[in-house]
Structure 1
Amino acid sequence: MRGHDRINNCLPEELLLEIFRRLESKPNRDACSLVCKRWLSLERYSRTTLRIGASFSPDDFISLLSRRFLHITSIHVDERLSVSLPSLSPSPKRKRGRDSSSPSSSKRKKLIGNKHSGAENVESCSLTDAGLTALADGFPKVENLSLIWCPNVSSVGLCSLAEKCISLKSLDLQGCYVGDQGLAAVGKFCKQLEELNLRFCEGLTDVGVIDLVVGCAKSLKSIGVAASAKITDLSLEAVGSHCKLLEVLYLDSEYIHDKGLIAVAQGCNHLKNLKLQCVGVTDKAFAAVGDLCTSLERLALYSFQNFTDKGMRDIGKGSKKLKDLTLSDCYFVSCKGLEAIAHGCKELERVEINGCHNIGTRGIEAIGNFCPRLKELALLYCQRIGNSALQEIGKGCKSLEMLHLVDCSGIGDSAMCSIAKGCRNLKKLHIRRCYEIGNKGIIAIGKHCKSLTELSLRFCDKVGNKALIAIGKGCSLQQLNVSGCNQISDAGISAIARGCPQLTHLDISVLQNIGDMPLAELGEGCPMLKDLVLSHCHHITDTGLNHLVQKCKLLETCHMVYCPGITSAGVATVVSSCPHIKKVLIEKWKVTERTTRRAGSVISYLCMDL
């Protein structure tokens, strides 16, 4: 009934707090906080996570947040993300109706003053030790803290944080120039620390890492190190000696050798996830990993120069629980090594082979023959893999859900027909520059793979309208990318529009035979469309855009550079008709001053000089 507040008068605070806690979407939480002052207070009380980008006076910003949000347990500060502040100049109406001596006006003047002074000092846009101390004072119960590329944070601030935030469980210091003293303080006070990321922490040495490892030995489960020249095998020996519960290890270093990795394998028998890019590690270390790390589930190896089939055989013999294997630019691994993995690791669910030029058809055939649980297969830049490899995958891997092919010149339609007939649970198919795959293979996918939701066929020259007509009849796609498939024209996109009402993402860039008619059909048939890429489509005009935005009210992004038929009127139509629009990519000269005033924040320019 009008005039009666049945929600606030009936629902207790405990119930409203529980409702707010179950809202995972930040926009939904923000919308609830605008209902009334009570809801605003309760929403702040229930919030547990803060995400902060680069902003002016971040130290003061932290202090302000600590007074408003009292139960924060996770804080993510990422200074790679630029956050523009809202305009601080009052609107004309408010300026006339508000006294210049009011408290809010004085606050506004103070903020403006801080902003101008900050413009003269670049460091004012970066979190400092003072801000880290304020964070520790304001959020003593924080458990998860990420400080990404905060160059002005040092050991002084980290020591202050460690002393007060003793409940810390996860610490990410990626790109921070902290020293050994700060890391030692974390080891001394934060006895519950489980996850530690030290990627690109150039100021650290073995001394700080060892002090932390010794202090957090009973809790530490995950460690990541990259591009830290002074962290050597000594640190890994300490990890192996003390961190008996370690499960995850990420290493990207030229200064780590067999000795360090062997120490980890000997001491950390619970290791489950190992990701390495270490040119100094050889087969000798992997013999220890295969023999001792029997719980290993994920193994990712990048750019190994001294890793061969011998190391693969040792992994295959010992790591029977391996589920996820990634080999990238491992030039000395051949089909024999992959066969050894397939024979020994029958629980494999995901395999990615990227640029390993000595792995060919026989290795992938072994995966198809011995790994029936395979769900995801990615073959990138594998020129020696032929059709029979995927034919065996189709016969043996009935649970396959995702297939990713890039620059695989030996794979054609016969392989795709085998996948379609054998892997009927396929949900995602991503193909790029596989020039032997054409209509026949994709028609088979549309006929047999009814669960397919994502299809990407970038620059596959032999795929045409017949393929998309079959997909439209057989699959309810949510995402489609046919960029550069020049045989596709209006008929193919129109078939998708009629057959895939759940479509949310569409990329038809660089299609020279697409006109306005498919856009009109997309407007009628795909009302849930959110992301649209039309760049380099020479026959699409403002008329097609107008028909599309009449019905696609959920559109969030639209890329339409190098489309000569789209003018400033079309750009204005998109930004005025789509209330949820977040990004429009267009040439600068096609944006009028009126459009800039109305939606300047959502417009991006590919080339400023056009």
Structure 2
Amino acid sequence: MQLPDDCLPLIFQHLDCTSDRESFGLTCRRWLQIQNENTRSLQFQIVYPYTMLKTSSSSQYDTHMSTFQLSRLLNRFQNLDSLSLSRCTELPDSALALLPQHASKLQSLHLDFCFRITDNCFSSVASGCSLLVILSLYQCNVTDYGLEALSNSCLALEDLNVSYCSRISDYGIRAISQNCRHLRAIRISYCGNLTGAGFQGCSQTLTYLEADSCRLEPEGIQSILSGGGLEYLSMSNLTWCADVDGLGFAAKLKVLNFRMCEMIGDDCIMAIARDCPSLQEWNLAVCHGVKIGGWESIASHCHNLKTLHVNGCRNLTDQGLQALRTGCKRLSVLYITRCSQISVVALEMFKVARGNVEVKEEEIDCICPHGAFRF
């Protein structure tokens, strides 16, 4: 009790254990006030039928958060930098309208699965929380109008997730890419109306893009690469596009995910292998269009390739594996399974000749980004 007030915040901030931080305020009213003033991050987890405050991982269940509950929490914690309301599926506009008044300093906001929030409310939040750096709207009902409002207010935005937002188009993405010039990462997977054209003239700061199962067009892919700074690109399940011209502009590209891009052929593979010298990880799982010419080009030109995924590639033969065995000198991990034309002998010869390569005969669902790409 004799400790001065300026010592207690330092003690609280240096508590590494989550349970210790959460129980800090149970000591006395004075310590409770210290906890309230120094809590920077808030998210929720459902324990039916009650909502519990958590500071770690999000719940897999829906959270029932009322306007009154959120108001009390925002009044208690007035110095938040990060707030997650993910899976608050019934959260109304009236609740989110509290953010500009009580949480205007927010830099990170997660609204995943908040189905009831409308564009009008989202526009108000964008203007009132203009310091946002990270925003996740996974599977929300946001439209181009909401994205345009966001781009006009949150100019410091660096990380945006609009995956499964089926109501947005290239118009909304164009507003984001033109106005948010600090944008580093964007996720647009399963947005069926996007062709990629909205990225034309995007900032050089854009280094990370997830666009799985989008209807990207060749011109759209060129637009995506127009900034010249892209290092991570995921375009899995691009089954309707056989022409991916323009990747030659991606000189900085390090990670490329083509998983289940069955239409991609040797011409495209050879161009990428030749023109993307920085490539370190390439996922070609279930890419049946890649044949001997593609595998030989990868072996000859991908001098910095460290990880290669070839699971389920029907046209990877013993000859193609032999090319990979003699090339790709920096290869350290090879994911290979369900390759019906690879003989046991050829695979064993690869393992013997390239003892430094970890051969993983197992399935993985998707490419795993390097830590540098996590924001």
Q: How does 1:55-454 map to 2 (within 5 A)?
A: 73-75=16-18, 139=20, 142=21, 160=26, 166=35, 168-177=39-48, 179=50, 200=61, 202-218=63-79, 220-251=80-111, 252-333=113-194, 335=195, 338-357=196-215, 359-368=216-225, 370-387=226-243, 389=244, 391-393=245-247, 395-454=248-307
CA RMSD of aligned residues (A): 3.0
* CA-to-aligned-CA distance 1:533-576 (integer Å, 9 cap, x gap): xxxxxxxxxxxxxxxxxxxxxxxxxxxxxxxxxxxxxxxxxxxx
Structure 2: give runs of 5+ residues left out of the alignment. 1-13, 364-375
Q: 2: CA distance between counterparts of 1:306 and 1:161? A: 49
Instruction: Assess if the C-alpha contact under 8 Å between 1:349 and 1:374 holds in 2.
Output: yes
Structure 1: give runs of 5+ residues left out of the alignment. 1-70, 76-134, 146-156, 187-192, 510-610
What is the CA-CA distance between 1:463 and the residue it aligns to? 0.8
Letter in structure 2 aligned against 1:466 = Q
What is the CA-CA distance between 1:415 and the residue it aligns to? 1.1
What is the CA-CA distance between 1:451 and the residue it aligns to? 2.1
Do structure 1's residue 494 and structure 2's residue 336 form an aligned pair? no
What is the CA-CA distance between 1:73 and the residue it aligns to? 1.7
What is the CA-CA distance between 1:196 and the residue it aligns to? 9.3
Instruction: Assess if the C-alpha contact under 8 Å between 1:257 and 1:278 holds in 2.
Output: no
Instruction: Assess if the C-alpha contact under 8 Å between 1:172 and 1:198 holds in 2.
Output: no
What is the CA-CA distance between 1:285 and the residue it aligns to? 1.1
Q: 2: CA distance between counterparts of 1:497 and 1:323? A: 39
Do structure 1's residue 483 and structure 2's residue 341 form an aligned pair? no
1:354 aligns to what SS in structure 2? Answer: coil
> What is the TM-score when the length of structure 2 is the normalising length?
0.81
| 1:426–1:229 CA distance, 2 compared to 1 (3 A) | closer
Instruction: Assess if the C-alpha contact under 8 Å between 1:476 and 1:499 holds in 2.
Output: no
* CA-to-aligned-CA distance 1:58-103 (integer Å, 9 cap, x gap): xxxxxxxxxxxxx96224xxxxxxxxxxxxxxxxxxxxxxxxxxxx
What is the CA-CA distance between 1:495 and the residue it aligns to? 4.1
Q: 2: CA distance between counterparts of 1:300 and 1:314? A: 15
Q: 2: CA distance between counterparts of 1:467 and 1:161? A: 67
Instruction: Assess if the C-alpha contact under 8 Å between 1:410 and 1:436 holds in 2.
Output: yes
Letter in structure 2 aligned against 1:339 = A
Q: Percent identity?
A: 22
Instruction: Assess if the C-alpha contact under 8 Å between 1:468 and 1:495 holds in 2.
Output: no
| 1:506–1:409 CA distance, 2 compared to 1 (3 A) | closer
Which protein has greater RCO, CA pairs closer than 8 Å, 6+ apart? 2
* CA-to-aligned-CA distance 1:38-62 (integer Å, 9 cap, x gap): xxxxxxxxxxxxxxxxxxxxxxxxx
From the CA coordinates, give the structure whose radius of gyration is larger: 1
Instruction: Assess if the C-alpha contact under 8 Å between 1:354 and 1:379 holds in 2.
Output: yes
Q: 2: CA distance between counterparts of 1:433 and 1:443? A: 18
| 1:447–1:227 CA distance, 2 compared to 1 (3 A) | same
What is the CA-CA distance between 1:161 and the residue it aligns to? 8.6
Q: 1: CA distance between counterparts of 2:357 and 2:115? A: 46
* CA-to-aligned-CA distance 1:437-487 (integer Å, 9 cap, x gap): 122212211222222221111111111122222222233433211211111
Structure with the higher helix share, 1 or 2? 1
What is the CA-CA distance between 1:375 and the residue it aligns to? 0.7
Letter in structure 2 aligned against 1:263 = S
1:310 aligns to what SS in structure 2? Answer: helix
Q: 2: CA distance between counterparts of 1:221 and 1:199? A: 23
Letter in structure 1 aligned against 2:340 = N
Q: How many residues align?
A: 343
Instruction: Assess if the C-alpha contact under 8 Å between 2:351 and 2:359 holds in 1.
Output: no
Letter in structure 1 aligned against 2:284 = I
